[in-house]
Amino acid sequence: MSVMIVETARYSHAWRALWPLAKPKVVLLIVFCAVIGMCLASPGLPPLSLLVPATLGIALVAGAAAMVNCLVERTADALMRRTAHRATARGEVGAAFTLTVALAAGGLGMLLLVVYVNALTAWLTLATFVGYALVYTLLLKPNTPQNIVIGGASGAMPPILGWAAVTGDVGVPALALFLIIYAWTPPHFWALALYRRDDYARAGLPMLPVTHGERFTTLSILLYSWLLAGISLLPVAIAHSGALYLAVALLLNARFLYLAARLHRQYADPLARRTFVWSICYLTWLFAALLVDHYWQVPLS
Ligand code: HEM
Ligand SMILES: CC(C)=CCC/C(C)=C/CC/C(C)=C/COP(=O)(O)OP(=O)(O)O
């Protein structure tokens, strides 16, 4: 009896240790962007019979990708303060167990997409998994400071996945949303990499602030923020979104550009942290505005 209790406690500890490896908050925003892709592709609300399996499927595959990322990077994670507590880095969960759970979750997600959604969404989600868990994590991240500029293409896929789930193809508005997340990713990540640069240097990862220094990174953030400001107006330029979205986008861009310009003028770690936190608020509110605008569109003229 006591052996059983000890075994159960060990397993429940292992399961609880696995949950943060799936990076639930990141996956939540990814799924939010995917759901908005689904809504924008539908004149009304997407049917629940599609919304539920598509959302669950994408969430499961994204969580699996995050777990594989933590598994592959466990040695580097152990050297960084931000990631040293991960169960993979601490050796609290075995590699075989983590991989099995990740593949089971990812497999279940793929099954949901294949059976209840469509083949295009399933293939694109699989490609996204490979792009992040393998190409970015194994090849790009340890080898080039442009790692997230290239690897960011995976993170930018969610609206395309959502759109494809509803329509079975990749529409122009979905491509515009892809470009928004693609341009958003470098300032999002480099802001964090700046105030965590000692971590990355210790782990031997060639992040931009480590290889090119603070000034070059803040300039890159500023330039990408301008690029993002322009790209974020694409949904209006293609007449998919209206005045409400435009107003919100202009306000959000103004704050992002203000923070990026200040960061470049006078660098400070707390300001870099604020810029990183703002990047997450920015994407959340921008996509929320797309959604509200879609259902309550105010014409521009
Ligand atoms: C390759 C592209 C990306 C890179 C390199 C990246 C990097 C990071 C890093 C290093 C963190 C820090 C986590 C921590 O605080 O420990 C983070 C947090 C976060 N990222 Fe990203 N990110 C990327 C793409 C995305 C995408 C596409 C989304 C959502 C659409 C996203 C949403 C978030 C959120 C919500 C957090 C906060 C998580 C938390 O507070 O636990 N990221 N990101
Ligand atoms: C199927 C699908 C939709 C997949 C989505 C891919 C995905 C999970 C993208 C998120 C990107 C992410 C969490 C980057 C973290 O950077 P990092 O891995 O360099 O950060 P770390 O140092 O915290 O591990």
**pLDDT tens column, 67-103:** 999 999 999 999 999 999 999 999 999 999 999 999 9
pLDDT of residue 48: 98
CATH architecture of 171-301: Up-down Bundle (1.20)
Banded pLDDT at 8 (limits 50, 70, 90): low
> Per residue in 278-294, pLDDT tens?
999 999 999 999 999 99
Banded pLDDT at 195 (limits 50, 70, 90): very high
Has residue 11 got a pLDDT over 70?
no
Under 8 Å CB-to-CB from 43, ≥6 apart: which residues? none
What is the Cα–Cα distance from 117 to 168, expressed in whole angstroms? 9
* Cβ 192 under 6 angstroms from ligand 1: yes
Cα 66 to ligand 2 centroid, rounded to whole Å: 6
Tokens of 231: 């790209």
Nearest ligand 1 atom, CA 28: 35
Which residue among 154, 207, 279 is best mutated to probe the pocket of ligand 2, counting the most ligand atoms within 8 A of its Cβ?
Answer: 154
φ, ψ for residue 102, nearest 5 deg: -60, -45
Give 3-state DSSP helix, strand, coil % of the chain, rounded to 5: 80, 0, 20
pLDDT of residue 5: 72
Banded pLDDT at 15 (limits 50, 70, 90): confident
Nearest ligand 1 atom, CA 196: 10
* Cβ 135 under 6 angstroms from ligand 1: no
Instruction: Say which ligand is closest to the CA of 195.
Output: 1
The answer to whether the beta carbons of residues 73 and 137 sit under 8 Å apart is yes
Fold observed for domain 13-170? Tetracycline Repressor; domain 2 (1.10.357)
Cα 213 to ligand 2 centroid, rounded to whole Å: 23
> Per residue in 159-185, pLDDT tens?
999 999 999 999 999 999 999 999 999
Nearest CA to ligand 1 atom 12: 192
* Cβ 83 under 6 angstroms from ligand 2: yes
Please state the separation of Cα 18 from the chain's center in Å. Answer: 19
Instruction: Specify the pTM.
Output: 0.95
pLDDT of residue 13: 76
> Per residue in 208-252, pLDDT tens?
999 999 999 999 999 999 999 999 999 999 999 999 999 999 999
Q: Which residue ranges make up each domain of the chain?
A: 13-170, 171-301
* Cβ 234 under 6 angstroms from ligand 2: no
Mean pLDDT of 119-125: 98
